[in-house]
Structure 1
Amino acid sequence: MRWFENPDFDFLKAHKIGYYVSGILLVASIFGILTKGLQYGIDFKGGKEFVLKFEQPVDVIDIRSELTEPLDGTPVVKLYGSPEEVLIRTDNPKDISEVQTLITDKMSEVYPDNPNTVIKTDIVGARFADDLRRGALNAIIFALIVIFIYILIRFKNWTYSAGAVAALFHDVLIVVGIFTFLSDIVPFSLQMDQSIIAAFLTIVGYSLNDTVVVFDRIRENSLLYKTMDHDEMVNKSLNDTLSRTVITSVTTFFVVTILFIFGGEVLKGFSFALMLGVIIGTYSSLFVASSAVIEIQRYKEKA
């Protein structure tokens, strides 16, 4: 299946527009992160968690909605092993016994015919949260380092590694920036927690897969068209892989959109990050990674 028969788009000219688009998005993202700051979830800033057991199954969406006001913030609510057991996490600063009373009283009010008991309580301390935050950052950095080495070994050219890592850094930073700006606007949680970090690593993997396909075609064409100008050869490679890139991106976007619509409140932030990642990852594969390779190659030729 091909959506584009013999495409001949001038990606080299579009790269110049891409420089401005990426530059604006990156500057805006960095500005938002520095001024507004990241919105951390309970995993990364500490909080309290409770496991409640009901006699009958309950709806986590209803519980989350009902507890938002008494807890002065939207809690994390998930099923815990069975439809009758619920895990509730909150960053409410009050004493754990006070918070527990707020939760149980509200649940008794909402479910008068469905008694509940607290079977587990725990506190996510600030030190543990700091360790999780540091571990998440290290995971992303380590992933980028491993990817740099992998691309270097596979293509035996550090310019490809630099282009791939630049595109991945570009993708993650822009998604984080968008999360920062939209955290107080959208009607669902965009707080940074472990699921969002998982989404970022998934974005890295998706974007890398697209980028490697493009780089493979660039390498093949560099051997087939040895007399062709390097920039033109890169442009031809992008056109050769365009149909595959677009089809993969569109089908993946459909899947994560369905996950966003029907996956429930808990998966909204995760799936929203993936939706952004598919769009930005596709854009970076075509306009950031390849343009970085071209610019580095020009620099090497001048040096």
Structure 2
Amino acid sequence: MSETVVKIENLVKNYKNLTAVDHFNLEIKEGEILGLLGPNGSGKTTTLNCLLSLLSFHEGKIEVFGEKMKPESYSLKKNIGVIFQNVAVFDTLTVYENIDFFCGLYIEEKALRKKYVEEAIQFVELGDFKNYYPKKLSGGLLRRLNIACGIAHKPKLIVLDEPTVAVDPQSRNKILEGILELNKQGATIIYTSHYMEEVEEICSRIVIMDKGKNLAEGTAEELKRRIKNNETIYIDIRSLPAEDMDNIRQLKHVYSVEYSEERLTVKCDGGNHNLIHVMDYLQERGISFGRVHSELPTLNDVFLEITGKELRD
């Protein structure tokens, strides 16, 4: 059994008449990359701030590495790295000096700190820029500097809040590769993002929260199996009588049929060969059709069904 790195039990955080976190529960095991998803205002940031003891809370318990997390838990905080969405570096310090400063908050020994700083620069591939000031860096390079500042002291738990916002595709790929490498080196990671494909690509487990509650958790595949929509079929048809729409609706596993702008959309809640069954019906009725394609559910479909919202709201 893996060690429990984070344990949150019945966490409650209120702001006057607003309950931002409502009896939230979460357990994260060593070596996980935990994706935390939720629309704006869902309580994600408040939960993370409570976890890091940056905010007090009204009820519940938070443990990190088996110890109660408190504002003065400096021995625990030395093993945590935090990279927030807003880049937090000093404009008056170079790339090297920024990483050295943040690493120095945790590593006092000069020789060891120098080694760690050099390794962090190499890790985020900023070797050619270590004497540059932040204002001279592109958005992607600035994000990578921000990550280096948060991980240079080699933390065991890393919190990454929207680390790929507004960066180019090449930098995004390098950041994702770096996160996977940090995990491979032993770090447990909490990852928030509005990019579903990133979460599905790198996260070993996903938690969906809204209105301060943990609504669902599991692997991407486990979450997809929880929703009604198992397959969506799209067929271009020039004309489709209402009678045929009703008949298609009666096919096994079909629960939704729509026809708009010469496109038939059929949603199925399970089963195999649904596309074949629909096409067989059309051919038997002599209904000609054009382009056909079928889509399996995405993580966005899961999120939309569970929360009723688009993630980018």
Task: Tell me the TM-score normalized by structure 1.
Answer: 0.24
- Between Structure 1 and Structure 2, the one with more strand by share is 2
- Between Structure 1 and Structure 2, the one with more helix by share is 1
Task: Tell me the TM-score normalized by structure 2.
Answer: 0.23
